[in-house]
Amino acid sequence: MSETIDLISASFAKTEIGQREIQTRSLGLAPLVRRLLVLVDGQKTGKDLAVFAGGTEVEPILQELLDRGCVEAKARSRPAESAPAQDAKASSDDGATAGLPDASTRSPSENEMARNFMINTVNTIFGQHSRLSLIETIARAKGTDELRMAYLSWLKAMEEDRIGAKRLPELREKLLKVL
Min mean pLDDT across 13-22, 27-36, 164-173 is at 164-173
Q: Give the residue with greater pLDDT, 159 vs 84.
A: 159
Q: Is it the case that residue 83 has pLDDT exceeding 70?
A: no
Min mean pLDDT across 74-78, 128-132, 164-168 is at 74-78
Residue 14's DSSP bridge partners are 71
Per-residue pLDDT, 93: 53
Q: What is the C-alpha separation between 53 and 133, in angstroms, rounded?
A: 9
pLDDT band at 65 (very low <50, low <70, confident <90, very high): very high
Q: Report pLDDT digits (tens) over 25-62.
A: 999 999 999 989 999 998 888 888 888 887 788 889 99
DSSP one-letter string for 14-73: E-HHHHHHHHH-TT---HHHHHHHHH--SS-BHHHHHGGGTTS-HHHHHHHHHHTTSEEE
Average pLDDT over the chain, rounded to an integer: 81
Kind plus residue range of the DSSP H or E element containing 13? strand 11-14
